[in-house]
Chains A and B, each alone.
Chain A
Amino acid sequence: MIPIEFFLMFAAILFVIGIYGIMTKNNAIVVLMCIEMVLNAANINLVTFAAYNGAIMGQVFVLFTVAVAACEVAVGIAIMLNVYKVKKTTVIDDLTELRW
């Protein structure tokens, strides 16, 4: 059996890549994708612990998370579409209207 550390390490790497992308990338679509990666890292953790502890709740929970993530992406992309219609750009650095 594959030791649990492998899965956890994989999830952590995925999480950090996602965070790095959110913080540094300049393209809104890429940022959205990175958010998905962070979510999925969490999902992997849930599934891993569920499998190793024999608790089915974790896997059920992941199903919910996936559904929520799908909605979230739909909303996010819809926002970006509208932003693009108005501003003709999806570059985050140019979208700084909401500030002091």
Chain B
Amino acid sequence: MFIEYTWLIPAIPLIMFVIVGLLAKGDNNRGGGLAILGALATLVISVLVVYEFLTGDAYATEGFVTESIKWFSIGGYEITLGYYVDGLTCIMLLFSTFISLLIFVYSMGYMDDQGKRKSRYYAEISLFLAGMTGLIVANNYLMMFVFWEVMGLCSYLLIGFWSFNHPQGDEASDNAASAAKKAFLVTRLGDASFMAGLFVLLYAFQSLDFTEVFNVAAIGNVDHNLIVIATLLLFGGAIGKSAQFPLQDWLPDAMAGPTTVSALIHAATMVKAGVYLVARSFPLFTQSAEVMLFVGLIGGITAILAASMALANNNIKKVLAFSTISQLGYMFMALGAGGYLMALGMNNSDPALMALGGLGYTAGVFHMLNHAFFKAQLFLGSGSVIHSTGTEDMREMGGLGKKMKSTSITMMIGSLSIAGFPFFSGFWSKDLILDTVLNASKYGSEGYLFAIVWILGIITVLMTAFYMFRMWYMTFGGPEGPATETCHGESPKSMTVPLWLLAIFAFGSGFLLLFGLDGIITIDAANGFLVGTLAGEGALYWVEHMLTNPYTYLSIGLALIGIFVAYLMYSRFAVNPGKFNKEGTSWLYRALENRWWFPQFYDWVSWTFGYKVGKTVNAFDQKVVDGAVNGLASAVVESGESGKYMQTGNVGNYASVVMLGMSVIFVGALLFIYYMGGM
């Protein structure tokens, strides 16, 4: 009844993009109103679709509903355009449209002083929402790729929103422009890999439709190595989009955009697309335990690397950016460990292992859901702080807690959630992830690598708790900084109401696990990769599972230590943090401050390889290609130059030449006829 209208979910924001982009003019909030209306309609339709799907018949039997029309065909390949709704789609749709709506509402307050540029902003965020929802409901990889690229474009436009007339001056404008370029180019590297993966898939399966590609029989018929190549290439796309090691460096720079855009990119859209891609392609990824091991390793490395960089950063938004990268690492960790177990289980026909693998999938997607809420909350909270103080440097803040009550309390909730404080949402999913990774380390010949990943993950728990509360205490606790004294106080209602709503979810979304959410976002390899078997374990099982696991207490303990150390250092000032880094001169501190020299590494790679290759190609173009073209042209010019003297202008000469030619042809014809022996 509603599910046939799933196509409206990306279509409505797309239409709003056109309407707002073309028609909304001037310094008013009409554009914002339209964008919010579009997001609201999208949310309502999403809820209706999800409700109908989860209560419908198809859910229990096939596990998905899909419908498509022919888009175009190339040779024998037919590409379709349609929607594909299953458990994963439902979860993604709900949180991304809901959070986008809240961010749009929040933007009404945050972007209120932007004058005529507001319309452009609202048009672009509408397109962003269209890109994400289109990606989620796509029924084939090509359609997914198109919306993936739409998001890439929107991230470029929005990160560079202040490329002109930045409120903080020209330097910030240049910074925004180069950050936008960096985001676009670095993710482009992943996009190219994604596209190559599509080619391999199309070659292997003769189709890009999910129903064809995820078919167990079809997967069995395809060369195993092709699937390995295809999944590695697809994961390359995910690395770029989700800012994983070694392409993580664009995300902190992307903080140059408005904070609402950061929230949109980090919580509801963009970076979630990479995780979604891997989760969506799980039937393919689980064909090889090695690929999943690679995914898990990348996740683990990214988690700890990004968390370490957050320790030494003084920019409130950049700390959050690093935490996003780190949390995305957790998600890939979970998917990698789960897929590893599932791949082993399928090889050995061991249903228990497959079920454990399904738990990893649940953990990864669940963490994505929880992360969406608490990260949206944290970003919007930091936006509220920046809006009020006019600076992003935490050293100038401090003591804001008294002036901005709502913001500080909601950000406390978000920070507790991301730190994994018991019963906050982050706690449930993070411990599920660590549990899965630990399980994975017990099986298979390469399992010991997952033990390393687990250690990385558990250290990251400590770091996460520390840097989040370092941020909180530096901003809201301690004595008042210079920016605090001049701040405008609490932000308007349109900003605090979304903050509170998100804080409620950031606290409570973990409890969804107790109501059978794990049955909706699990995957069952034994039944043809059925997503969502409805076989949720339910409330008591998870409480018992978590509380009887000794490692849960380890991670809780580490989180508490992290929070306590941050409290000592930045609120009580009982411990001087400078003692540990020789007042900012130790090499480790400098490495963290310089993001492990990743920006320099990028520059070095671009200058040595990119620039030199570019120069060589340029030389080839100028010398060989241009040489051939110019040579041909000058040959024509030269021959014309020398031949032009035949044009005397004297009609008699022309007539003579014509006659001569005629005679030659005539005599030639006669000779030919004679030679051939008559007519």
Contacts and interface: CB of A to CB of B under 8 A. Distances in A.
Specify whether A and B are partners: yes
Interface of A: 19, 22-26, 31, 92-93, 95-100
Interface in B80-133: none
A95 B650 CA distance: 7
Contact of B647 (A22, A93, A100): A100
A96 B647 CA distance: 10
Contacts, number: 32
A100 B651 contact: no
Nearest to B659: A19
Contacts of B648: 96, 99
Contacts of B650: 92-93, 96, 99
Q: For chain B, what secondary structure do more than half of its interface residues adopt (helix, strand, loop), or is it mixed?
A: helix
A31 B649 CA distance: 15
A97 B649 contact: yes
19 contacts: A19-B655, A22-B652, A23-B655, A23-B659, A24-B652, A31-B651, A31-B652, A92-B651, A92-B652, A93-B650, A96-B648, A96-B649, A96-B650, A98-B647, A99-B647, A99-B648, A99-B649, A99-B650, A100-B647
Most buried by A among B645, B647, B652: B652
B644 interface: yes
Interface string B651-663: 1100110010000
A98 B649 contact: yes
B644 to A, nearest CB: 4
Contacts of A22: 652, 655
A23 B653 CA distance: 7
Nearest to A34: B655
A31 B625 CA distance: 52
Contacts of B659: 19, 23
A100 B648 CA distance: 7
Given A23-B656, A97-B649, A99-B649, 20 more contacts: A19-B655, A19-B659, A23-B652, A23-B655, A23-B659, A24-B652, A25-B652, A31-B651, A92-B651, A92-B652, A93-B650, A95-B649, A95-B651, A96-B648, A98-B647, A99-B648, A99-B650, A100-B644, A100-B645, A100-B647
A19 B656 CA distance: 9
Nearest to A25: B652
Contacts of B645: 100
B652 to A, nearest CB: 5
Nearest to B644: A100
B318 to A, nearest CB: 71
A83 to B, nearest CB: 11
A24 B649 CA distance: 15
A100 B649 CA distance: 8
B1 to A, nearest CB: 79
Nearest to B650: A96
Interface in B604-652: 644-645, 647-652
Nearest to A20: B659
Contacts of B651: 31, 92, 95
**7 closest A-B pairs by CB:** A99-B649, A96-B649, A100-B644, A22-B655, A23-B656, A99-B647, A100-B647
